[in-house]
Amino acid sequence: MLPSHLNRYFEDRFKIREATSIGGGCINDCYKLDTSTGIYFIKLNSAVTYPGMFEAEKKGLELLASTNTMPIPKILETGEVNGTSFLLMEFIETGKPAKDTMLNFGRNLAALHRHSSGHYGLEYDNYIGSLPQYNQIKDSWGDFFIRMRLLPQLKLAKDLVSFFILDFENLFSKMDSLFPDERPALLHGDLWNGNYIVNTKGDACLVDPAAYYGHREMDIAMTKLFGGFTNEFYEGYNEVYPLESGWRSRIDLCNLYPLLVHVNLFGDSYVKQVKKCLKKYV
């Protein structure tokens, strides 16, 4: 049941026939809305606990959509009512993958990554899961990766990772030599298999971004973290924007960031995985 204050808020726009609670991540309340003007998807959360979360997500989705590289749900409205923030958007009806779904998904992601900026980062901060993600502009990818990605997570996880923090310091000292030099790419930023939906046309649609301009291997590495991306996906990607040699050897390096995020979200069960990945580079 949609909260009554939101029912009242939307009653001038449309009549809600039915609000069905559905999955939409681990931190938001999500509903499919059957209304007098169409079917919509709405995400709700506390405006106090997560200030600016949905406004940042709206900006990220609109930034991705502006590239015209792949389907992105259209944003209808974001706002706050009585302490509840909301994001109202197009509802993506799920369908079955087609034979070429993953091949085209890879091609489309590569086309997205072709969109660049003069610097790493973004003009505003956003979130990854329920954690703040800082996007202060940097000229160097190594500097950005250390200061905007790893250090904030290490600060949060200091009690869990203190016994191997010197390994991170050793990693930082040679970071600039570990990545190939590439221009910043527009990234989804949280590209695991739960953050895309296959629509009724068989196209993969991106959702729940943590967008910024970064090294494109960050998105690629995260697709490897929990699986769900086929060989055809990587074949399609490399057709359009071939990855630099040695990219597989940097997967664990890139995934230090999402793994530290998981340490901070879900606890010490991910600490051993962080340490194992780190040891490959120090």
Annotated catalytic residue: which of 190, 203, 208, 219? 190
Residue recorded with tokens 């291997």? 217
The Cβ of residue 124 has, within 10 Å, a number of other Cβ atoms equal to 12
Cβ–Cβ under 8 Å, residues 41 and 30: yes
Task: Determine the straight-line distance between the first and last CA of the chain, rounded to whole angstroms.
Answer: 52
- DSSP letters of 136-152? --BS-HHHHIIIIIIHH
Cβ-Cβ contacts under 8 Å for 216 (sequence gap 6 or more): 113, 182, 185, 187, 241, 243
Number of other CB atoms surrounding residue 7 within 10 Å: 13
Active site residue 190: yes
Tell me the catalytic residues.
Answer: 190
